[in-house]
Structure 1
């Protein structure tokens, strides 16, 4: 069962003025309706942004509606016979919309779906009007960004119908939508163009300028001539990158018999390097007009084209499509009328493309009256001046020299670019050892480079010198530690391995510089690996006599290194050791011992000639035990140790009293 969802906008009145009558088309960003402008009584087209698009854009950019309005006003000022005019803009139920000229006809996509491909005369006639529209936009500083057959409308010609494509009116649409969505700040807008027509620079860096539209127009011309786009693939991203990696093939390789001038025209427009393409749509338009004239100057001939696959023509039956290439003419509706010229100025033009007829006309004018001769000479002079001025403008006049912004700060660069009338965009910043943060390290075009007046300069800003802490790789195997350090652009070297009691053999035990030290790319980092636990375990020596400790160490092949220190411990007792007991060491390793010098010495005071009780009391007060001999109440006549002797604390003193 076929289920169709009703469109709630049908029959509704927008802004009290536009009555929606029917839906014309639905695209990726918007839906197009026909509507009646009840105020002016005319049919218009109303393009309304999808509900799924506008809220997302508004959420990302608070000023979406304001920028949409500004861009719509800019497009409305773009008036050209080949541009779909924008009449009005506004919002309906929170959704932005544009009111545009309603064009009766079909899209170029519809024409190609029916005709498969066009003959060279028709393709160039459509391309000429399409480029005239885009050139008008470029002169106004706008880039379309989405040139494709769906946005090219083939309207009914003034002569009626669209069967004769040479006389059809071509109009380009969607300038307003493409530009307005771009202004919304939507990240996806950078690849807004359909991938079949996307220029390489939009794929690689998201940048588009008039040369991007030239590329897309070249792809459209290729499709009109061959009936297919140059690249296809399973995924859109695959198609997009083919534009970056491959040159567009010559149309004659797919359709033998096409004139060489068309191959050259497509090749010029679709160069992968933007600098090798025509500078804008106006420059490409001039080349298309030259190509039309070249084809027109050739005698009428018949080109035999390969068969086009068709459901009604089996591929087993060879068919031939004959395309008549006629002299290039402007459509009748596009030629200037002679009705406004005085009768004596009208001259019969030679019929056909006979050069002899034109020479006869020129001869008649030069040999006729002086007024005609003077007018002819003046016309030639004016034409020469116009050609010279146009050549100067397209080749030199509209270009200027890019200012030198390298080494300036961001603020200084912005100020200087503003003074010169240039706009700036910023590439991905990068680290630089010599330029401080937010200084300009590169620009495109370079200093004194050629650039359009009011053009765009791309700046690369500095992040300053790159510095970062050395990561902790202790405990990792060498291969993993090396990978971590090399990823940071550090130079890794192995140091002398050493034994470690805690880490197994082959893992990192230390680095030089140390972990956490600030380094920069290119710094040399020495990595010390573990040899595992050493073969000899250091015994416990603390509390032993130093002589006993020496004997034990000698038996193990270790060398004692002794340091004597004051201590309350007995003399020659080991106070501490390094390495600690249980640590692994190699044979011949040193073991540091802290050895006690014994308690500090004290001086025995003089007590001779003192009363025995007084002498005893004085010695005991200083910590000396006292032995009294003879008369405990007598006078001290001798003492041992003697006065001023240095003895260990607690040494007993003997006194003799008589």
Structure 2
């Protein structure tokens, strides 16, 4: 939501384009820069009066429901307008393509209505701004590339920065330790040093204008308000003071005057916020501006102790207090002096120095010891604690919140013409008088000594030199007595005139009462409206609700496991919060659950597939095993989600893992033909080996034995067959001339059966010797064969 301007008229100058990050460390889920999967944040700067930042990116979408006629147009035949990024009170910023150099740039185009309403004033200012910013070339400053006029529209071409703002960093991580806070403030001081050396003043230093690139570089943006440092006043556009009230120096609040020391004050407020995580003053704009003028910024350590944090070194406190002194004369003179002190403080912090009186005195000269009582204000300048009515702003500040001269303490006159001290003002008696600053500026609200009458119109350039809180003495040349207005003019005592004056007075009182009543209503409640409840609505319904309430709405997408896609999750501000009319509401719309692409895990080992799922933000579900003839054992056959499909984060994916080919039952072929057994086993997927052995029991060519003979084997396993080569053959031994008994013994030992026959059955005398054998000697016969011996 664009911050309301409050009661101090201020031209808002937040500018840019940023992109949040996805879920993870901080999660842009969303702006995660502390993002586990950080996206790039794009931030565009250099626009006066921009509305709140417009969000783009892979995870964010901005929608304002409007179209822009310049989108698609080419400026000066070179810069093609691609997209409108943001619109402010003075100009609109676009994302554009430089057709000549082929790069993305930011183009700021001035509003036509401003040029028409102000003649050539805004065009001249636009041209001055471009020339001043382009002349400033420094590594810590966002660059200006080009400027021109297209179809009567002045424009500026600027650098397009990738990164985030210091505001994003403060929101996520502040408070910072002193060393890191000083490391962040040092590039800002370096940028201001370069600007001040060139005679330029930034005038709006704040975290939103400090960019941190995605490679760590730090740049100060939006030197668009910078003008020659010798200029005496800030330009007031559309009746608003240019600047951001939280970081606005008191001299600008009081008289719209700024120089290099004003940038030092704003930088000191930024350093205070880095160290403490909060701004020194909060509240309505008028209250904050009043505090800047009438109060001294507390030491960071004081705030840190109050919040339960450890204090910072005293010289860091001293540096902040020196930068934020209300008297500009007592601040560092310019960016160079600030840079020197920041570097010295940073070196001391890096060296482990906790407290150093001498270094503190360098940071906060001539008054360090007195200034140690931070709560009492600026010891050097003798600033007092103020408890007065609201301050009177410069008459040059126009707007609904301006105050009349009667609201200024000390502005009423006595009958003799002297200025009376306000009764509500209290001054601490123990504070010493302070010397008047050289530039003539003092905070408003302290007691003053009698002086000449105060001008009720514009005294911003004539502030008092007499005291730290005294109203300025109205300076004018003496006027001849004849030309002076009588202090007590002649009063007509006629009754008719008295009645007429009474009627006129009554009417004036009624008109004044009406104006006061309407103004009070508008200031307190009339300009505010309750934020409508958009949670649970679709985008179209939310836009309609915002329009009916006189508001605008921008949308940013965020993943949600609980809310349906396209439905509003939350709004900032929340429903029922009072906001100014025509303000912007930032709504977060559900993009549904975050999904990730399913990786291809088929063919991976189970371990590799598990890691692939974890890397894809998914989980492993049930794991089952199956036989596969094509997938090696231990590898994944399939998963429960198809590769490439989008799967909701943390979904459990089931896996099927291969156990290799299916086992095959082994059939026993013992006693079967060897050829038949081998063919059958090979057809079943086995590898068959054979060997032959003689066997008198198994037929030749048949299987004597098989290994294994039963069970199950994987395809390709080996089965061994032992095949019969028939009975074993033995040569018939020579037993001729041996006795019958010896021959029988020899033949039986050789494995033969023996049959005896006599050569002559009728012979009376026998020698009992073997004459011959049948088969004859050396004939090979199978064991068990019968050999016949012939005996004589």
Same fold (TM over 0.5): no
Largest Rg, 1 or 2: 2
Would you tell me which structure has more helix in proportion to its own residues? 1
- The structure whose RCO (Cα within 8 Å, separation 6+) is larger is 2
TM-score by length of 2: 0.37
TM-score by length of 1: 0.43
